[in-house]
Copies of this chain bind each other. A is one copy, B any other.
Amino acid sequence: MNLEQASRQLEALGNPTRLQIYRTLVRAGHAGLPVGGLQERIGIAASTLSHHLKRLVDTGLVTQERHATTLICRAHYPAMDALIGYLADECCADAACVASEAAAS
Contact = CB atoms under 8 A, between A and B. Distances in A.
A36 interface: no
Interface residues of A, number: 41
A80 B11 CA distance: 16
A62 interface: no
Interface in A1-24: 3-4, 6-16, 19-20, 22-23
A13 B11 CA distance: 7
Contact of A80 (B83, B85, B87): B87
Contacts of A16: 3-4, 7
B75 A27 contact: no
Contacts of A84: 84, 87-88, 91
